[in-house]
Amino acid sequence: MPQFASIRTRKIKKIRKFSRSNITVMTRTTNCFYNSRVTL
């Protein structure tokens, strides 16, 4: 369990860092993807 928890926290930290740096890009890409899916 402790190993899994440490891995999970590491992943969360990485995700947080990534979201902080590229949140605008991510939102743009997701919005484009969602719009394309809706149109199709």
Q: What is the pLDDT of residues 3-31, one digit of tens each?
A: 666 767 777 677 666 666 666 777 888 88
Q: What is the dihedral of CA 27, 30, 35, 37, to 10 degrees?
A: -170
DSSP H helix total and E strand total for the chain:
1, 0
Residue 28 confidence (pLDDT): 82
DSSP assigned state of 40: -
Region 29-38 average pLDDT: 79
Report the alpha-carbon distance of residue 34 to residue 32 in Å, rounded: 5
Report the alpha-carbon distance of residue 3 to residue 11 in Å, rounded: 12
Residue 10 confidence (pLDDT): 74
Q: Is the pLDDT of residue 1 over 60?
A: no
Q: Where are the domains of the chain?
A: 1-40
Rg value, the chain, Cα? 15
Q: Comparing 29 with 39, which gets the higher pLDDT?
A: 29
Give the predicted TM-score (pTM) of the model. Answer: 0.30
